[in-house]
Amino acid sequence: MAKISGKIAVVTGASSGIGRATAEALARVGFAVFGTSRRPNGDAPVGVTMLACDVTDDESVKTLVSTVLSKTARIDLLVNNAGIGLIGGAEESSIEQIKALFDVNLLGVMRATNAVLPSMRERRAGLIINMGSVLGIVPAPYSAYYSATKHALEGYSESLDHETRAFNVRVSVIEPAFTRSVFDQNALEPDQKLEPYEKSRADARALMSDVMPTADLPEVVADVVVAAATAKHPKRRYTAGKLARQISILRRFAPAGTFDKNLRRQMRLPA
Ligand SMILES: NC(=O)c1ccc[n+]([C@@H]2O[C@H](COP(=O)([O-])OP(=O)(O)OC[C@H]3O[C@@H](n4cnc5c(N)ncnc54)[C@H](OP(=O)(O)O)[C@@H]3O)[C@@H](O)[C@H]2O)c1
């Protein structure tokens, strides 16, 4: 691949997992990359300048973007990657907890996007890549709110893309399936647990821990982000990895009843 030079990328949540691999992969192909973490002083990804940012904090996001723009005068690519999970029955979370999850996974994306858009519109160039999930196109029992954040992200991203293409700014969503990271360990527990969901919640967590060791490496997703970031005409959606492609095809083409049965079997739920 030809080296990209002079292009500036910002990757949120670059301290670990998919964001870290993505920031490093973009740096390898020649982007100048600014990665973020709420605590940026740890072990930085290779070739990446780390800055502090909490995507739930308006001022923190504004400061991040103005800091990068003061150094570079442009941002060509924003990768909205920061995100967290929540594993539990839908009835087991308070409204406060649901709001907090949406604050990171959805409003965080909107804050960062709205902070970079003025400079992208002005330059009539830019790409925003949002880290979705296959759980944004299929249901996720015992991760209903996580799935809801990623479904909302799909609707937001595609709508936004229609608006911003007038300014030559495009929006893509990446849809990975299970990816090896500490995502499962970082996934929140519900804050108002109920005994009838105890076993199913534990099974859902166990399923995730079981698949993580053999799940796709974050580099698989990072390569897809690089492909989107360097495409002449980026697509609106990219699945990342074999399992994600299979799920996406099943969702589109399998009869609803077959899909439903298959999902319950995969999620280890009774028929
Ligand atoms: N792993 C999977 O199976 C999988 C599958 C599909 C999609 N995804 C998506 O991929 C993205 C990355 O997940 P991952 O698997 O790489 O998980 P991870 O290893 O837990 O990384 C999450 C990243 O998000 C950052 N973050 C969390 N809360 C934040 C906040 N309030 N403000 C700013 N940054 C915050 C963390 O940074 P600090 O803690 O350093 O601030 C960290 O860098 C998420 O959007 C996730 O939904 C993951």
Q: Is residue 58 part of a domain?
A: yes
Q: Are 175 and 239 in contact (CB under 8 A)?
A: yes
146 catalytic? Reply is yes
Residue nearest to atom 2 of ligand 1 (CA): 179
Q: pLDDT by residue (tens digit) across 114-158?
A: 999 999 999 999 999 999 999 999 999 999 999 999 999 999 999
The share of the chain scoring above pLDDT 70, in percent, equals: 99
Residues within 6 Å of ligand 1 by CB? 12-19, 37-39, 53-56, 81-84, 104, 131, 133, 176, 178-179, 181-183, 186
Residues 6+ apart with CB under 8 A from 208: 87, 178, 184, 187
Instruction: Give residue 79's domain range.
Output: 8-241
* Model confidence at 105: pLDDT above 70: yes
Position 42 in a domain: yes
The verdict on residue 80 lying in a domain is yes
What is the predicted pLDDT for the residue at 271?
86
Q: 249 lies in a domain?
A: no
- Whether pLDDT at 1 is above 80: no
Cβ count within 10 A of residue 26: 29
Minimum CA distance residue for ligand 1 atom 47: 83
Asked whether residue 247 is domain-assigned, the answer is no
CATH number at residue 84: 3.40.50.720
Report which of residues 2 and 213 the model is more confident about: 213
CA 271 to centroid of ligand 1, rounded, Å: 32
Q: Give a yes or no: residue 59 inside a domain.
A: yes
Report which ligand 1 atom has the smallest distance to the Cα of 104: 31
pLDDT at 2: 61
Among 20, 84, 210, which is best to mutate for testing ligand 1, by the most ligand atoms less than 8 A from CB? 84
Instruction: Return the CA Rg of the chain.
Output: 18
14 inside domain: yes
User: How many distinct structural domains can be found in the chain?
Assistant: 1
Phi and psi at residue 127, to the nearest 5°: -135, 135
Region 259-263 average pLDDT? 95
Distance from Cα 182 to the centre of ligand 1, integer Å: 8
CA of 82 to the centre of ligand 1 (A): 4
> pTM surpassing 0.85?
yes
pLDDT tens sequence across 22-50: 999 999 999 999 999 999 998 999 999 99
Q: Which atom in ligand 1 lies closest to the alpha carbon of residue 21?
A: 16
What pLDDT, in 10s, does the model give residues 78-101?
999 999 999 999 999 999 999 999
Mean pLDDT for the chain?
Answer: 97
On whether residue 246 sits in a domain, the answer given is: no
Catalytic residue among 142, 145, 146, 238: 146
Of 9, 32, 17, give the one whose Cα is nearest residue 78.
Answer: 9
- Burial readout 160-178 (b: 16 or more C-beta within 10 A, e: otherwise): bbeebeeeebbbbbbbbbb
